[in-house]
Amino acid sequence: METHFSKEQLKNKDNKSSEKIFRKCVHCGFCNATCPTYQLLGDELDGPRGRIYLIKDMLENNKPANEKIVKHIDRCLSCYSCMTTCPSGVNYMHLIDHGRKHIEKTFKRPLSDRLIRNFLSKTLSKSINFRIVAILTTFLKPFSFFFPKKLRNMINLMPIKFPKKTLSQMKVYEADKKKKPVARVALLTGCVQKVLAPQINEASIRLLNRHNIEVVVLKEIDCCGSLNHHLGKMDLANETFKKNISIWYDEYLNNGLDAIISNTSGCGTTLKDYGFIFRTDDDFKKKAKKISELTKDISEYLDGNVKLNFIKNKENNKSYKIAYHSACSMQHGQKIHNVPINLIKKTGNEVFNIPDGHLCCGSAGTYNLLQTDIAKKLLKNKISNIEKIKPQFITTGNIGCITQIANGTKIPILHTVEIIDWYTGGPKPKILKKL
Ligand code: SF4
Ligand code: SF4
């Protein structure tokens, strides 16, 4: 794609990077074929190629965003299915991030939108705020029909009960005290995840400890920053990024870390991008690069670094039919697909890919809260494809997808790490007790 940025414009680091990406695009439109919003809406501007043109036009011509551009950019899920399809290696993720940042700077959203986005930014990225809102929401559920559509949807998405924590909060979860640990890792426990599903972090810690790996949970680290990043609120996101980078880097230097483990693929994708985000920041680029290099999805870490000790017992001696939902941030963002499937296969169960598995379930961070109608259509399609497999349960590696899919089906869904924990000596996940 030809570009016409001036020398002055290219002095801006974001323009410089985006210009290189625009030049890679050859307008072929292959990406449209696998874009969920293009498939549903059939509008060129609701596909990646159209969005690339919109972003390029704003940046190259120093144009402020307008309502039309914002509508089409907001409809993008950031699922990155287009990146997997693109034969030219266009990094759409960095373009849409730049586009969102430009929108936030140049466009004033209607008051109701600003209120909702600010509310999401303040509640979802801080676990304490989220916990308070989550509890309040349970009381509002019976009256949800009084609320405007977006708020009603937020209330309905919240579960009725929140699982209790079974592990006490510690900084260091030691492995076998009699043995020297084989590795020391930090675990990102996540802002939303630790409220909605503490059992995922607990399964991760138990599993790693059982394999003689010490786990560090630094309580100052709450959110990875991706919620604000995807809302275009770059100042808030950068504040979180810098805090996380400094804390983990200090731990790495002072006490040693072999990896930073993410068990939420959406967060892992952002952590792996810290290096790019701070590429020109003299104070942070070295540290950010190190944090990105250390980051591993838990499935990736288990596969590459841990000799898993699978155990058969009376709780896990049946063979189950499991549908594997490949979260977009996992398969398109981090390019991890077969690794979790192969890990589950080692438990002796049957694992099936979901038809049209490259398409998003509609969760996509705050998307199911902000773009309710499209998210519901995507969920409906996902559930119908899952039901074709007739699985006994579903598994995935991202809390957002777990919440979204659980909202559309009665088939139990659990995190992949809960299965691996269970088959290596951990408890049977509560959600499967009846199976
Ligand atoms: S990120 Fe997903 S929704 Fe957005 S343009 Fe790419 S494929 Fe379409
Ligand atoms: S597939 Fe890649 S090169 Fe082709 S239009 Fe889409 S982004 Fe551009």
For the stretch 313-351, pLDDT in tens is 888 888 999 999 999 999 999 999 999 999 999 999 999
Ligand nearest to the CA of 100: 1
From 90, 95, 96, give the residue whose CB has the most ligand 2 atoms within 8 Å, as the site to mutate.
Answer: 90
Asked if pLDDT for residue 158 goes beyond 90, the answer is: no
Question: Pseudo-torsion of CA 309, 341, 389, 415, nearest 10°?
Answer: 70
Average pLDDT, the chain: 94
Residue nearest to atom 5 of ligand 1 (CA): 48
**pLDDT at residue 272 in the model:** 98
For the Cβ of 136 lying below 6 angstroms from any atom of ligand 2, the answer is no
Mean pLDDT calculated for residue range 235-240: 95
Q: What is the pTM of this model?
A: 0.94
**Alpha-carbon span 127 to 357, nearest angstrom:** 31
Would you state the pLDDT for residue 26?
97
Cβ of 92 below 6 Å from ligand 1: yes
Asked if 397 and 361 touch (Cβ cutoff 8 Å), the reply is no
Tell me the backbone φ, ψ of residue 351, rounded to 5 degrees: -120, 135
Going by C-alpha positions, the residue among 125, 116, 126, 192 that lies closest to residue 151 is 116
Q: Using the mean position of ligand 2's atoms as its centre, give its distance from the Cα of residue 421 in Å.
A: 41
Rounded to whole angstroms, how far apart are CA atoms 119 and 56?
A: 30
Residue nearest to atom 3 of ligand 2 (CA): 25
pLDDT value of residue 418: 97
The answer to whether the CB of 76 is under 6 A from ligand 1 is: yes
Cα dihedral sign, 4-6-7-11: negative
The set of residues, in sequence order, having a beta carbon less than 8 Å from that of 347 and lying 6+ positions away, is 310, 316, 419, 420, 423
Cα of 327 to ligand 1 centre, how many Å? 14
Kindly report which listed range (83-87, 287-291, 418-422, 431-435) carries the lowest average pLDDT score.
431-435
Cα 308 from chain centre: 25
- Cβ atoms of 277 and 228 within 8 Å: the answer is no
Confidence class for position 134, pLDDT limits 50, 70, 90: confident
CA gap 66, 213 in Å, rounded: 51
Pocket of ligand 1 contains residue 78 by CB under 6 Å: yes
> 159 falls in which pLDDT band (50, 70, 90)?
confident
Q: Give residue 30's pLDDT band: very low, low, confident or very high (50, 70, 90).
A: very high
* pLDDT-wise least confident of 160-174, 185-199, 368-382: 160-174
CB burial class (10 A; 0-12, 13-18, 19+) of residue 145? exposed
Phi, psi torsion values for 262, nearest 5 degrees: -115, 130
CA 38 to ligand 2 center in whole angstroms: 14
At 190, the pLDDT band (50, 70, 90 cuts) reads confident
Q: How many CB atoms lie within 10 A of CB 67?
A: 9
For ligand 2, mutation pick of 83, 85, 88 (most atoms within 8 Å of CB): 88
| Protein residue with least CA distance to atom 2, ligand 1 | 79
> Is pLDDT at 367 greater than 80 in this prediction?
yes
State if residue 49 touches ligand 2 by the CB under 6 angstroms criterion: yes
Q: Give the closest residue to 77 by CA, choosing from 419, 371, 418.
A: 371
- Residue 156: C-alpha distances to residues 95, 113, 139, 149, 389 (Å): 33, 19, 11, 10, 27
- Residue from 81, 84, 230 whose mutation best tests the ligand 1 pocket (most atoms within 8 A of CB): 81
**Mutate-to-test residue for ligand 1 from 21, 80, 91, 361, highest number of ligand atoms within 8 A of CB:** 80
3-class SS of residue 350:
strand
**Greater model confidence, 252 or 131:** 252
- Residue 435 pLDDT exceeds 90: no
> Which atom of ligand 1 is nearest to 51's Cα?
5
Residue nearest to atom 7 of ligand 1 (CA): 35
